[in-house]
Structure 1
Amino acid sequence: MSFDGPDRRLLLVSARAELLDGGLAGSTVDGVPDHVAASWRRSVAGGVPPDTVESPYTTELDFQSRLVKCARPVIDQLAEQLSDVPMCVALTDSRARILARKDSSHWIGRVLDRVQFAQGFGYAEGLVGTNGVGTVIEFGESVHIVGAEHFVDSLQAFACAGAPVRDPFTGRIEGVLDISCLADQSTPIMHSLVRNAARLIEHNLVQDRDQAQQALFDVYSRVDARTRDAVVAVGPRVVVANTAMQTLLDAHDQDTLHDHVRFLAPRHTTVDQRVDLPSGARVRLRGSTVAIGDDIAGMIGVVTLLDEVEGAVGAPALAPLHSSSPGLGAAAGSARTELRAGRPVLVLGEPGSGRFRLLEELYRLDEPAGRLVRHPAATVEQDPRGCARALTRPLPGVLHVLCDIDRLSASAGAQLLDELADPPLFVATAETQPALLALFRGCVTVPPLRHRTADLAELVRALLAELAPHREVRLSVEATRMLARYRWPGNVRELREVLACALTTRPVGVIEVHDLPARCQSTPRSVLRPVDELERDAIVTALREAAGNRKAAATALGLARSTLYRKLRQYGISD
């Protein structure tokens, strides 16, 4: 069988030309596979140039990631099987960016370099049209794209078979394994080989994940055998605790402590600190991380209950921002100590996590009539010397805040350092460590909302009171549970936006699930592109209108039920 014989190539070329001329509006095209025709339409709608590859190069890719390590032996074995034919085996991440490529000959490597099918370049369908990588991610299944089935002219000399590599635990596509060669050397066995190889990589991912969890459990078992104290092991998705731990604290306090340990694990190798919990219990947490190579498997903690007469271990804690979070309380205590001593302090944390609000509350504890003056990064960038002059001329009851200083250019940062050789009292916020660490004497980190789930109910009450003063409004139990499952990438700022949106639909009374924005019904494992967000919202809306009936929702969306189920898994939609 010829996959790209003259007659079929002519059919494909004619169909594609008609599509580019504005035809082929129907759902099927004679002689063109449905997934190829659908991909062509997406390529046209996305404005993909049909005559040339325009692939961006990404500099921050991790070429030694867990996925690459698990795939490397499979890639080597597959390349050895294909060594008699000019082919390449490539692995991409979940965004179709090429992490690894192994060629059976230097010649095929040079040919593929000319179309930017190389490490670091992206082959998403929205960039280069129909292909054996990006189309796999869009289609959700393995594909074999041969010759003129490619959307872009310069790729039609090739054939590529790609298969998704899924996380065995979540079902999410972690990457794509691809075999590419010239179109006239394509064979159906490529498709079979790449699917089998992708399954082998998934098997390696299972073993790798099991190793991390096993390592965490092994250390937990050794610690538990040596002590009668409460012991807990907390990983990204697993918690193991002994009987002493389960009886020491109530369920709410335990959940709060688990969140706190997840926050600490990637930031500290060891910890020894006092932790104040929502019930009022005060415990001492002594913990150490468990690592597998460069990955953190989790943290093992030994927990003891403290009496009031015992000295505090670590920084004094406060409970600002309607919070019972130990991490936020410790950050507040440390920051207040620095402010009272007149020392500049840096507040790290994700955007929207409440960094500025924390500083505002702390400052007003000692200066009730005081105010904070913001200096956005863009303003500082334009006039760093002017900003420095403002900082060195303090006014009574005024605290200057440099916002997002990690966004400053090197030149603006250098000018600030020159002008502030002896830093006055000021504070700054940043998401990552900036180049200006020499300016500060103290640093605290505000936990993201996903590590402060114990705060959610109180934050909702406080924000509703602020957004809808003097109104009887609250969340239903089901709506509260949905918000608790959401990952809150935008933190407290996003929670406020969600509640404000819900109030436009339900200004008084009980806010139900269907009053919340569609995104709250989704818990994806990765950041979504704008086009993914639109698709997710359309699916959630269809499910709500169909009262959760998946068959009716699929019909309304024009999707096969199997496709809808795959999308539900992909976006983590709960219905």
Structure 2
Amino acid sequence: MSLAGHSIPVVRARESFLSSGDLPVDGVSGLVSASWRRSVEAGVSDLSNVLDRGYVGDLDLQSRFVQCALPVIDRLELELSDLPVSIALTDRNSRVLLRRDNQRLLGGRFDTVFFAPGFNYSEGEVGTNGVGTALASGKAVFITGHEHFAENITVFACAGAPIRDPLTGLVQGVLDLSCLATDASPFMHSLAQQAARNIEIELRASGSVHQQAVLEHFLRVSRTARGPVVSLGGDVFMSDTRANQQLLPQEKAYIREIASGLSGLRDSMVLDVEMPSGRSARVRPETVTVGADIAGVVLRVDLTAPEPSARRAPVKSVGMPEIPGDSAAWRRVTGEVVDAAHTAAPVVLTGESGSGKLALLTAAHRRAFPTRPLVVIDCRTDPVAQVLKGLEATRLPTLVLAHLDEFPGDYDDLDRILDERGEHGWLAATMAHTNTECAHAVSADATGNPTPSSPHTPTPSSRNAPTPSAGNASPPSSRRACGRDPHAQLDSVLRHFDISVSVPPLRHRIDDLPQLVSHLLGVLAPRRTVACTPATLRVLLGHDWPGNIAELREALRTALTRRPVGDLRAEDLPETCFVSGGRRLTPIEAAERSAIVRALMQTGGNRRDAAVLVGIARSSLYRKIQAYGIRVGQKLTG
């Protein structure tokens, strides 16, 4: 055992440095003394409570770095199973990504000093420690006892070794071994170094030729570009420093969707896009190839480009109260659908479930054909052939084939029935975005010659999307229903349509949400004067709405039930409004998530008080908030 960190010379050196700035000769190593000076220059103070600096979220545990480190950490954990040592992995910013504890009590000790996933252990925040000092010095370190700068952690010892990506040479993070100072051993230093080298071997093995080609092109472009640069190669998405600084999270997610749609195309056009935040950008994609294969795509993002609307025809505002929204994307879509209705041009609406496709068609029908009947057929469950044949005596109805891509029967039969209808009214259909070949099918005329696509901004879910593989492009019911290619059968029906319009999800027109909320409250509670408080609206604006308008309607319905009188408050919303994304939870996890959300609501977002209410450590609460994607901030009342 080595107790050098608790030796009298080290203790005296630390006391002398903190009181006067002087260091006795041979008191501590040059590495430690240099770290102490950096800690002072960084402004680290309040040594008795220096660690409580808050929580940093957005941990990417699915990254290539973490996935390569996990096998090494698993083996190391098994080898050290009988020793009182914790294993931690951090990213390049000193944030703890994960921690493995061989002893529960030891893990509890680390929780009390916030050495836990999501917390920052950089030198500039905490002072000298195994993680921050390893990153600051660029070399493996062994810090024990009073060699630490902060008083809180002088009872510990930690050995940290930086991990470099062999493909780039850049430091990706630190492998750290920590224990109580009384249990420290100098072998921890060499063990941490060896584990770091093993992770680097895994990183080298995982870097395929294609990924390396994309990485090299990404780095080359990033060095010369003036604006943000992102790349996508396989499932590896990278963004440079400018992208991280200049793009909002929802904007980066949107750019990634565009990259996904372009990654299979050899020749890509320059795109002028309007991002979810309302900002305009010009995206210049560069395809990366390895031999005859497409390895990925690198995108230059120009945020100084003129707004796309300056180069497009003016967008008309159709002003339909039953489908409110003033965003450019929504006005453009509604204008296209209303124009199709007025000219009786058969149209297909594609979009995510709950995005308002059927409501848009219904509103357009009422505006263009107020005296005609509207017939909506659910292709999933209704007897389509029987309903269509029964319409022969009906005078020119508007016919909507909802969920056309989920028709369980034979598309040839549906094609034949549509052929036999003769003179009919306006024909429309709705489909999911997963069948992106519909955008290609309806962009060709009857002779097979291509026609101009719809004028809305291209996205991965519209004309620039690569054609999906047969394995995921059509519903299982369609594949079961026929012996030949279901895509060809669907195309036979889509030839009856002239136009396709992509309906944006709610998260891509979030500026319309206040109008939607007001409209839905009027529909759900027509005899009640009710609104949302500013805090409630902030929660609604912060949610990503995977269920789109349908999910928003149900959230407001729940809130109205919980508060039958008065304006709706944030605590009235269902717990799902405070989370984003994530996996499907078990019943126990869902109950735990709801309990945490309720505790945060009761304490006005105060995480310290919420941890007391739930009965867990504050650091554990932070981890669970991150794991469940909970979004509850301060000052939620009012």
**What TM-score range do you get, normalising by the shorter chain?**
0.5 to 0.7
| CA deviation string 1:133-156 (max 9, x = no partner) | xxxxxxx86589xxxxxxxxxxxx
| CA deviation string 1:476-529 (max 9, x = no partner) | 222222111111111111111111211223334332221222221222445555
Alignment check: 8 A CA contact 1:346 1:444 kept? yes
Alignment check: 8 A CA contact 1:374 1:403 kept? yes
2:525 maps to 1:468 = yes
Check 1:335–1:509 CA distance in 2 against 1; reply closer, same or farther (3 A cut).
same
What is the identity percentage for the equivalent residue pairs of Structure 1 and Structure 2?
26
Alignment check: 8 A CA contact 1:70 1:201 kept? no
Q: Which moved more, 1:487-496 or 1:206-215?
A: 206-215
Q: Which moved more, 1:214-223 or 1:544-553?
A: 214-223
Q: How many residues align?
A: 388
Query: Mapping of 1:406-555 within 5 angstroms?
Result: 406-409=405-408, 411-421=409-419, 425-431=426-432, 432-433=434-435, 435=487, 436-440=490-494, 441=497, 442-469=499-526, 471-526=528-583, 528=585, 531-555=588-612
2:333 maps to 1:331 = yes
SS in 2 for 1:488: coil
Q: Which amino acid aligns with 1:523?
A: S
Q: What stretches of structure 2 of length at least 5 have no aligned partner?
A: 1-60, 77-97, 103-116, 121-187, 232-236, 263-267, 289-293, 436-473, 475-486, 634-638
User: What is aligned with 2:389?
Assistant: 389
Check 1:453–1:255 CA distance in 2 against 1; reply closer, same or farther (3 A cut).
farther
Q: Which amino acid aligns with 2:407?
A: L
Distance in 1 of aligned mates of 2:74 and 2:250? 49
| CA deviation string 1:421-441 (max 9, x = no partner) | 478642111212154233233
User: What is aligned with 2:301?
Assistant: 300
SS in 1 for 2:538: helix
Check 1:443–1:265 CA distance in 2 against 1; reply closer, same or farther (3 A cut).
farther
SS in 1 for 2:597: helix
| CA deviation string 1:344-363 (max 9, x = no partner) | 32111111111111111222
Q: Which moved more, 1:203-212 or 1:534-543?
A: 203-212
Alignment check: 8 A CA contact 1:375 1:403 kept? yes
For the pair shown, the structure with the greater C-alpha radius of gyration is 2
Check 1:312–1:238 CA distance in 2 against 1; reply closer, same or farther (3 A cut).
farther
Distance in 2 of aligned mates of 1:218 and 1:69? 21
Query: Mapping of 1:279-298 within 5 angstroms?
Result: 287-289=283-285
Check 1:408–1:531 CA distance in 2 against 1; reply closer, same or farther (3 A cut).
farther
Alignment check: 8 A CA contact 1:405 1:430 kept? yes
SS in 1 for 2:531: strand
Q: Which amino acid aligns with 2:429?
A: A
User: What is aligned with 1:347?
Assistant: 349
Alignment check: 8 A CA contact 1:167 1:202 kept? no
Q: Which amino acid aligns with 2:414?
A: L
Q: Which amino acid aligns with 1:564?
A: L
User: What is aligned with 1:566?
Assistant: 623
| CA deviation string 1:395-422 (max 9, x = no partner) | 34x322222222223x433421333347
Q: Which amino acid aligns with 2:386?
A: G
SS in 2 for 1:472: coil
Q: Which amino acid aligns with 1:430?
A: M
SS in 2 for 1:356: helix
SS in 1 for 2:539: helix
Alignment check: 8 A CA contact 2:251 2:275 kept? no
User: Larger relative contact order (C-alpha < 8 A, sep ≥ 6)?
Assistant: 2
| CA deviation string 1:434-484 (max 9, x = no partner) | 542332332111111111111112211222222233533222222222111
Distance in 2 of aligned mates of 1:326 and 1:213? 35
Q: Which amino acid aligns with 1:413?
A: Y
Query: Mapping of 1:76-115 within 5 angstroms?
Result: none
Structure 1 position 271, deviation (Å): 6.2
Check 1:80–1:334 CA distance in 2 against 1; reply closer, same or farther (3 A cut).
same
User: What is aligned with 1:17?
Assistant: none
Alignment check: 8 A CA contact 1:335 1:443 kept? no
Distance in 1 of aligned mates of 2:118 and 2:202? 7
Check 1:445–1:307 CA distance in 2 against 1; reply closer, same or farther (3 A cut).
closer
